[in-house]
Structure 1
Amino acid sequence: MKSQPNDRIKVHPGFWAGLHQLGISTDDVARTAQLSLETINKPLVNQAHYFAIWQAYSDLIGDTAEGIIKLAKGYEISKYPPPVLAMYHARDYRDALNRMVRYKQMCPPESLQINEAGEECIIELEWLHKDQQGPPLLVGVTLAFLLELGRRGTGQPLNANLVEFSHPMGNVDMLEAYFGCRVETGKPYNRLTLDRKDLSLPFLSYNEELIEILTPVLDRSLDERQGSRSVTDLVKWIMKRSLTDKRLDIQTVAKELRMSDRTLQRRLTEENTNFKQLLTEARHEQARAYLADPSLDIKEVAFLVGYEDQNSFYRAFRNWEGDTPSNWRVRQ
C-alpha cells in the first residue's frame, strides 16, 4: 500500500488505553500486526501501519462486533484529543455531530457526511482513497462512537434507526442489541441513520467556556492543514464525498472552503485547471474505484458518481476508458 503525501495519522492515547482495559498490550498489537514497537509508538504512522494496527486489534479480540462494542463503551473522554472534547462539550447532539464531521478532516483516512432529510439524519463514512479501505472494525467503531457520543452527552439511552455496513461485522445480533435497531451488512456503503428529533436534545456536558476556547484553535488547525494542500486536491476531495449531492456546484464547494466562488475559480486557474474538469476527474476516479468492488452493480455505481440515469454514465465512461463499464470491470 503506497503512502500518500499527507499519509500521516495519529493513534491517540485513548485507543491504547481502551485496549489496555481489554487486556491487550502494545506488544500484542505489534506482534500481531508484524510491526516494531518503535513504529507503532511513533507520534504519527502511515496509513498502511494504521490499518495494520486496527486489523491486529480485530484479530486479537476475535469477533468484530465484540471489538466494536467494547472499545466504544470503554473509551475515556479525558484520554482523547481536543476535537473530541469539542464534540462532547457541544451545545446539543446536532452541534456535536456537525463538529465531528468538520474536525474529522483533521484525522484521515476516513471522512463523514451528514444529511438531514425528513424525520431522519443519515451519517455516511467514506474513505479518502476508495481503493484503500480500512478494516471493518474501524468502520464499526467510528459509527458506534457517533451514537455513544449522543448517549453520553444527552444522558439518554438513544437508539439508531438503522445501521448499514459494506462488510461482514461478526455477531450481528450483538450489534443490533447495542445500536437498538436493525443492522444490515453487504450494503454499498457504511451508514448510521438516526432519528432527527434526537439531534435537538441538549448535552448535559455542554461547556460554553471550553467551547469558546477550543473552537478557534481547532478551526485554525484545520485551516492550516487544508492550506498545506493544493486547492485542486481540496476541491477533488470535497467533490468525491459529495458526488451524489444534486447541489454540488462551485458555490457549494467554495462555501465549504470558506472563499468566494470567484476566488476559487481564480485559484483553480492558477493551478491550470477548472471546476468542470475536476468534477469529471473526480467522477472518473470514483467510478474506477467503485467498479473494482464486485458487490456494486452498474446502476449503483452510476448513482454513486452523480449520474441520474445509467445511459449517461455509460456514455461518460466510454469517453474516459474507451469501453463500457461492464467490459472494463471484466478486464480488471
Structure 2
Amino acid sequence: MADRVPIPMVLFEHLAQTGLDVDAVLRLAKLPRSRFNVARPEGTTAEFFALWRAVEQTAADPGLGLQLGHAALTDEENVASLAALHSNTLGEGLERLARYKRLVCPEKVWLDIAHGEARLRFQWLLANEEPPALLTDLIFAGIVKVAQQGTNTPIKPRRIELTRAPADEIMLQQHFGCEICFDAPHDVMVFDEAALALPMVKRNAQFLAILLPGLDLALSNNDASRTLVDDVRDALVETMAGERPAISKVAKSLGMSVRTLQRRLGELGTTHQDLLDEVRHQSARRLLKATSLGIGEVAFLLGYEEVNSFTRAFHLWEGVTPAGWRLNAAA
C-alpha cells in the first residue's frame, strides 16, 4: 500500500477562515509551501500527522477538529463519503464508507455488528505513532455529519471510545451527545444497531451504478499491491485484544491452513512470531504514549499472560522498561 495521503487545498482555506496563519502552520510542520503547488497535493502519513500536530499547537480552540469535521471538509469530495451518502440505508452507507476509506488514505475502517451495536473501528495502517487528537475528532465529527446529513435525522452515536488519555471530555460529550470512553484499545464509534435501518434521503441507485465500479476497480488495483505480510499484520491488529493471536486464528481469518501460512511467510523471509512481535511493539509504544493505562493493562491488551513477559520483550525492543520508556516519551 502506497503511503500517500491527499492534502486538499480547501483544507488551508478552512484553516485560514478560523484565523490560523497557514504559513506558520506549515513551517511548524516542516512542510514547504511549494509542496502544494500541484493539482493534487499529497503527503506521507507522518507528514499528514505533522501537519495536524502543527494545527493543534497553533490553534487556540481545542474544538477546532470538531468544528472542521462538522463543516464536512470532504463530504462532497471524499469518494467514500459520496458512496455512503447515496446508499439505501445508513447501514449500507457505513459498510461502503468502511470499504472505500482506504482509497482516500491509508486508514482502515472495520464495521462490526454484535450485541445490538454497530462498531466502526479506525486504524491508520502505516502510522508509527498515534494520530493527533484533533485529526481523530475531525474524522469522527465528519462521520456523524454524514450520518445526520444522509438520514436527515439528529442521529447520535451511542458511545465513542478513544485511545488517548482523558482530555476535553465535557467538550466531546456536548458535541457528540454520548458517552466518551478514554484509554481504549482502538478508536471506535458505536451506533445502535437499529439505526442501521434508517433510510438515506439522498439515495441514488443510478449514481452508485456509475460510481461503484470505478471504486471497486481502484480497490482491486490497490489490493493487488498488498502482500501476505500486510494481510497478516491486519489480522493480528484485528484479533489482538486481550489474548495472544494464535497462528491458527490468523490462518483461519485468511482462509488457509497453518502449514500453508507458515510456508508462505517463510518464502517472504518472515514468520508469524516476527510479525506478532512487530505489531505488539508498535501497539505498545502507542498505548504507553497516548493512554494512561497501567503497564499490566497494556500487557493484557497485547495478549501477554504475565506482565514480566511483556516487560522483558519491551526491554529487548527499546533497551528500557515500559515504565521508563513512558517517562521519557512524556518528557
Bin of the TM-score, shorter chain as denominator length: 0.7 to 0.9
Residue 91 of structure 1 is matched in structure 2 by 88
Residue 46 of structure 1 is matched in structure 2 by 44
1:77-115 CA distance string (max 9 Å, x none): 564132221122122111221222222223445333332
1:56 pairs with one of 39, 54, 66: 54
- 8 Å contact from structure 2 (residues 85, 146) kept in 1: yes
Partner Cα distance (1:331, 1:29) in 2: 32
Matched, 1:156 2:153: yes
Distance 1:197 1:306, change over 3 A: farther
Matched, 1:166 2:159: no
Residue 294 of structure 2 is matched in structure 1 by 297
Matched, 1:175 2:187: no
Matched, 1:124 2:121: yes
Partner Cα distance (2:233, 2:50) in 1: 27
Aligned pairs, number? 316
Give the unaligned 5+ runs of structure 2. Answer: 326-331
C-alpha deviation, 1:37, in angstroms: 0.9
Partner Cα distance (1:178, 1:292) in 2: 27
Residue 251 of structure 2 is matched in structure 1 by 250
Q: Structure 1 counterpart of 2:214, which letter?
A: V
Q: Structure 2 counterpart of 1:328, which letter?
A: T
Distance 1:290 1:271, change over 3 A: same
Residue 329 of structure 1 is matched in structure 2 by 322
- 8 Å contact from structure 2 (residues 163, 287) kept in 1: no
C-alpha deviation, 1:203, in angstroms: 0.5
Partner Cα distance (1:186, 1:269) in 2: 36
Distance 1:323 1:28, change over 3 A: closer
Q: Structure 1 counterpart of 2:33, which letter?
A: L
Q: How does 1:164-203 map to 2 (within 5 A)?
A: 164-167=161-164, 171-203=168-200
1:65-85 CA distance string (max 9 Å, x none): 2x1221122125564132221
Residue 100 of structure 1 is matched in structure 2 by 97
1:110 pairs with one of 88, 107, 110: 107
C-alpha deviation, 1:9, in angstroms: 1.4
Distance 1:282 1:25, change over 3 A: same
Q: Identity of paired residues, percent? A: 26
C-alpha deviation, 1:54, in angstroms: 1.5
- 8 Å contact from structure 2 (residues 81, 146) kept in 1: no
C-alpha deviation, 1:287, in angstroms: 5.4
C-alpha deviation, 1:28, in angstroms: 5.0
Q: Structure 1 counterpart of 2:187, which letter?
A: N
Q: Structure 2 counterpart of 1:252, which letter?
A: S
C-alpha deviation, 1:150, in angstroms: 0.7
Matched, 1:10 2:6: yes
Partner Cα distance (1:129, 1:305) in 2: 19
Partner Cα distance (2:298, 2:138) in 1: 26
Partner Cα distance (1:89, 1:137) in 2: 28
2:213 pairs with one of 207, 210, 216: 216
Residue 229 of structure 1 is matched in structure 2 by 226
Partner Cα distance (2:317, 2:265) in 1: 31
Question: What RMSD in Å do the two structures reach over aligned CA positions?
Answer: 3.6
Q: Relative to structure 2, which stretch is displaced further, 45-54 or 202-211?
A: 45-54
- 8 Å contact from structure 1 (residues 287, 301) kept in 2: no
C-alpha deviation, 1:278, in angstroms: 5.9
Q: Structure 2 counterpart of 1:211, which letter?
A: L
- 8 Å contact from structure 1 (residues 290, 296) kept in 2: no
Distance 1:315 1:203, change over 3 A: same
TM-score, normalising length: structure 1:
0.78
Give the unaligned 5+ runs of structure 1. Answer: 255-259
C-alpha deviation, 1:160, in angstroms: 1.5
Distance 1:306 1:121, change over 3 A: farther
TM-score, normalising length: structure 2:
0.78
Partner Cα distance (2:158, 2:75) in 1: 29
Q: Structure 2 counterpart of 1:10, which letter?
A: P
